[in-house]
Chains A and B, each alone.
Chain A
Amino acid sequence: MSSTSRIWGECQESTDFVSYEHKNNDAHYFIGFFKTLVDPKALNDHILDCVTKNPEASLNDLYHLIPLAEKEISHESNHVKNKLLQGFVAIQQGLDANVCLLAEAALFKGRDVSTPEIEFTVEGPKEAFVESLGINLYLIRKRIPYPEFRVKELVVGSISKSKIAICYIEGLTNEEYLHTVRQRIEDIQFDQLSDITLLQQMIEDNSNSVFPQTIGTERPDYATWAISSGQVCVLLDGSPIALFAPVTLGSFFISYEDYYLPWIVGSIVRLTRMLSVVFSIFATPLYVAMITYHGHGISNIYLPTLISSRISVPFPPVVEVLTMELVIELLREAGARLPNKIGQTIGIVGGIVLGTAAVEASITSNFLLIIVALSALASFTTPIYRMSATIRILRFPFIISAQLWGILGIAICGFAVITHLLRLTSLGMPYLVPFYPFRPSDLYDSVIRAPYTNFNRRFSFFRSTNPIRFDKHKKARKDIDE
């Protein structure tokens, strides 16, 4: 009976809860809300205005009179409490009444839509997701004005009560993937879900892997592309990143700009990016292996250059390499933790001054300095930040195994990594498709990006219920002068 009045008492423990009695002739209402959560304009102009102007109205009348779209009458005390915490205003007749009118007057304050910073592209739209779920959904929905586009909301987190939106297209996204995502989100046991990156780690197939199995993007154009390809997209209120799954290893090396460039240019850029990943992982381990064990394999033409650059370095190659790699990691970390302008300065000071000094002090050979700097640079070309972190980490086991058994060690380590990749799945889909299992028909958007006429079928591994993107018309073959 006095359950609602207990809520009022409970809420009044917080100083930002406002409640007062609104006396008007016979009727006197109790009005309560969190002033920090409520938009004063909506409160004054719509709710209070309406209550003052209709002194005779009952709670039911008020329900119809208040000029707001989101309102309800509730009996449940818990529900009332939750709604109060979401910026609703509660109105009830008498303190002991157990019926309560809830009207939404939530205050919205947040960042405006701005340009993408992590996945910046020269071409293409310059909008990025922000921290508000509403705006993010707007950014997606305005790009998919399609009636079958669905948004399902879930609430996760015992304290944060985070709103999660699962977006997909009905009749296109495979139900199995959708169920898996939904099931995994529902199974999450956690209190404070502050960002979608936490969610990513919780719903991935193998959370002990260094390889990410979902992609988080801040670009609405990329997210909508994923949705219309048959992937499931998940948004979290308060996070400027949308994640989508299932994904393959190859898709981590795709920048969305590849799609905006002409296909030959885009393909070459993508190929460069993939080669740079290989270089970034194998350059320093190969240096260690060659210098330590396989010196006889280096051609006589190059040997003098190598020897002269290393002749005064007192350390074995592996110490030299590990030191330099750690210095680079240090520079990167320092640059990332500092404000933008100081970060740049640190980068320049560290890069030029430290590098030159290290060579002059014979701590490292300048040959290695070039390799380390290049491979660090190469690792930053990966557009997805989590993957580029993985690639930087991945180098270290290779360096150590190169020190142990030279090129054989690298081969063994490579087999271990590839076995791990073969085992990995993303929502149950193999991680290495379309290369293994080999799907030749899906190669049109993997290492190269084929012209859009070849995009007529969706990737078979997404098992879309509607695999045909558009009908491909066969062009009549042209002859000279026709």
Chain B
Amino acid sequence: MAGGYELRSVQNERLTVSPYLALVLIHSIQFGLGYLSMSIKPVQFAGHDAWISVLLTGIGFHIIIWMIYQLLNRNRSDIIEIHRQFFGKWVGGALNFLFIVYFLINSSYQLRLFIEVIQVWLFPELETWALALVLLLLIYYIVSSGFRVILGICTLSLAQHTLIFSMLFTAPFFHFANLKPVLDHSLNDLVLAAKEMTFPYMGVEILLFCYTFIKNPEKSQKWAQIGNAITMFFYLLVIFFSILLFKYEQLAKEIWPEFTKYKFVHMPFIERFDFIGATCLIFGLFPISCLFLWASSRTMKITFGTRQLTALAIFILLVFIVVCCIPNRKTIESVQMGLSKVGLVIVYVYIPCMYLTDLVRWKARRA
């Protein structure tokens, strides 16, 4: 896309981040809390071949990221502008609003899930609102510092991968026979499992919103793809560890197999590892909720002209109320089901549709 085009909504150079941070952006927003329970459902459909569906979904997301970049590079702007340009002020505004709602519900879900994990594994008597309040105040502090600081927090969150070394302790319990025979599930099973895998990969839609905050955004595609590949790699590890350690009848009974795995970990001076694992989930929580709240408040600012700080404060309050209103496991699960469906629509319907619309417009203008 070389040429004399300027970005339509240029950001001040001081606010933009280097292209390589697209890797951090994509990876940290995908790799959140979803991996905790990720391995249960795909394994129910595809059994020990679930790792193939992890690959399938990963490749699907590579294509989605490519589509997003095609769309944005051609328009040289972010989706908030594109919506208004394609659909006019009202329909475009409505679409933006839908995204705001989606982001808010998603960050509420992540926050509530984290609090639930803490309540189950660390402090059973902890009040939901107390932890939610502290976390949201911190999130307000992070988001109000701007995009660069949020990406700094995302970079820091990469530190959580050191936990993967704890899986070395589980190695003596691996049952490699669990993997065989390779590929004895039908394509239909694999696709069903891949569909279940979509939710953990979600988050790439954030690119649509922070495209203009990346310096030379066209060059960042390579990094975004690498970020997705890294996510795929870690999900493969998670799935492999699950298949190697559990029979899938066992797996079906688990809620968070990841924590059960920590029970295998014994270090010379640390008797139990699960409380460290539960605390480390905070690394996964902050990037997601901060980026989603940042994106929604920014969309609010551009679409409706409010101050971003005001919008952020209101959204934080809304998230706080929603988090307090989600009482138990059942509700959390149903929220996840809903979000998962919305995610499927966004990834497999909305983004390809936008891509095709744009392609047609582009061709028409050329002709």
Minimum C-beta distance from B239 to chain A (A): 27
15 residue pairs of the A-B complex, CB under 8 angstroms, read: A293-B123, A296-B272, A297-B275, A298-B270, A298-B271, A405-B126, A405-B131, A415-B153, A419-B152, A419-B153, A422-B153, A436-B155, A437-B148, A438-B20, A438-B155
B152 and A422 within 8 A (CB)? yes
A408 and B145 within 8 A (CB)? no
B142 and A411 within 8 A (CB)? no
Chain A, residue nearest B24 (CB)? A438
Main secondary structure of the interface of A (DSSP, over half): helix
B138 and A416 within 8 A (CB)? yes
A294 and B149 within 8 A (CB)? no
B269 and A422 within 8 A (CB)? no
**Is the CB of A406 closer than 8 A to any CB of chain B?**
yes
Report the 9 A-B pairs with minimum CB-CB distance, sorted nearest first: A422-B152, A422-B149, A423-B145, A436-B152, A299-B271, A299-B269, A407-B279, A297-B272, A419-B142
**Is the CB of B100 closer than 8 A to any CB of chain A?**
no
CB 8 Å contact bits of B318-347 with A (1 = contact, 0 = none): 000000000000000000000000000000
Given contacts A298-B270, A300-B271, contact A405 B123 (CB under 8 A): yes
Instruction: Specify which of A299, A408, A438 is in contact with B118 (CB 8 Å cutoff).
Output: A408
Chain A, residue nearest B269 (CB)? A299
A412 and B271 within 8 A (CB)? no
Given contacts A299-B267, A419-B153, contact A294 B275 (CB under 8 A): yes
Which residues of the partner chain A approach B131 to less than 8 Å between Cβ atoms? 405
**Is the CB of A166 closer than 8 A to any CB of chain B?**
no
Which residues of the partner chain A approach B153 to less than 8 Å between Cβ atoms? 415, 418-419, 422
**Is the CB of A432 closer than 8 A to any CB of chain B?**
yes
**Is the CB of B59 closer than 8 A to any CB of chain A?**
no
CA A416 – CA B142 in complex, angstroms? 8
**Is the CB of B101 closer than 8 A to any CB of chain A?**
no
B18 and A419 within 8 A (CB)? no
Given contacts A419-B142, A419-B145, A437-B18, contact A432 B270 (CB under 8 A): no
**Is the CB of A108 closer than 8 A to any CB of chain B?**
no
CA A438 – CA B141 in complex, angstroms? 22
CA A436 – CA B20 in complex, angstroms? 12
**Is the CB of A302 closer than 8 A to any CB of chain B?**
yes
**Is the CB of B3 closer than 8 A to any CB of chain A?**
no
Chain A, residue nearest B280 (CB)? A411
Which residues of the partner chain B approach A407 to less than 8 Å between Cβ atoms? 122, 275-276, 279
Minimum C-beta distance from A433 to chain B (A): 11
Interface residues of B in 1-31 (CB under 8 A from A): 17-18, 20-21
CA A125 – CA B149 in complex, angstroms? 41
Interface residues of A in 392-407 (CB under 8 A from B): 405-407
**Is the CB of A301 closer than 8 A to any CB of chain B?**
yes
CA A436 – CA B152 in complex, angstroms? 6
CB 8 Å contact bits of B263-277 with A (1 = contact, 0 = none): 000011111110110
**Is the CB of B191 closer than 8 A to any CB of chain A?**
no
Minimum C-beta distance from A428 to chain B (A): 9
| Size bin of chain B's contact surface | 35 or more
Minimum C-beta distance from B15 to chain A (A): 12
**Is the CB of B134 closer than 8 A to any CB of chain A?**
yes
Which residues of the partner chain B approach A411 to less than 8 Å between Cβ atoms? 279-280, 282
Which residues of the partner chain B approach A405 to less than 8 Å between Cβ atoms? 123, 126, 131
Which residues of the partner chain A approach B273 to less than 8 Å between Cβ atoms? 297
Which residues of the partner chain B approach A423 to less than 8 Å between Cβ atoms? 145, 149
Given contacts A415-B138, A432-B152, 20 further A-B contacts (CB under 8 A): A293-B122, A293-B123, A296-B272, A297-B272, A299-B267, A299-B268, A299-B270, A405-B123, A407-B122, A408-B278, A408-B279, A412-B134, A416-B138, A418-B152, A418-B153, A419-B145, A422-B145, A422-B153, A437-B18, A438-B20
B149 and A437 within 8 A (CB)? no
Which residues of the partner chain B approach A432 to less than 8 Å between Cβ atoms? 152
CA A297 – CA B277 in complex, angstroms? 12
A302 and B138 within 8 A (CB)? no
Interface residues of A in 262-304 (CB under 8 A from B): 293-294, 296-302
CA A206 – CA B155 in complex, angstroms? 24
Which residues of the partner chain A approach B118 to less than 8 Å between Cβ atoms? 408
**Is the CB of B286 closer than 8 A to any CB of chain A?**
yes
**Is the CB of B156 closer than 8 A to any CB of chain A?**
yes
Minimum C-beta distance from A221 to chain B (A): 34
Chain A, residue nearest B145 (CB)? A423
**Is the CB of B36 closer than 8 A to any CB of chain A?**
no
Which residues of the partner chain A approach B313 to less than 8 Å between Cβ atoms? none
Chain A, residue nearest B143 (CB)? A419
A419 and B270 within 8 A (CB)? no
Which residues of the partner chain B approach A293 to less than 8 Å between Cβ atoms? 122-123
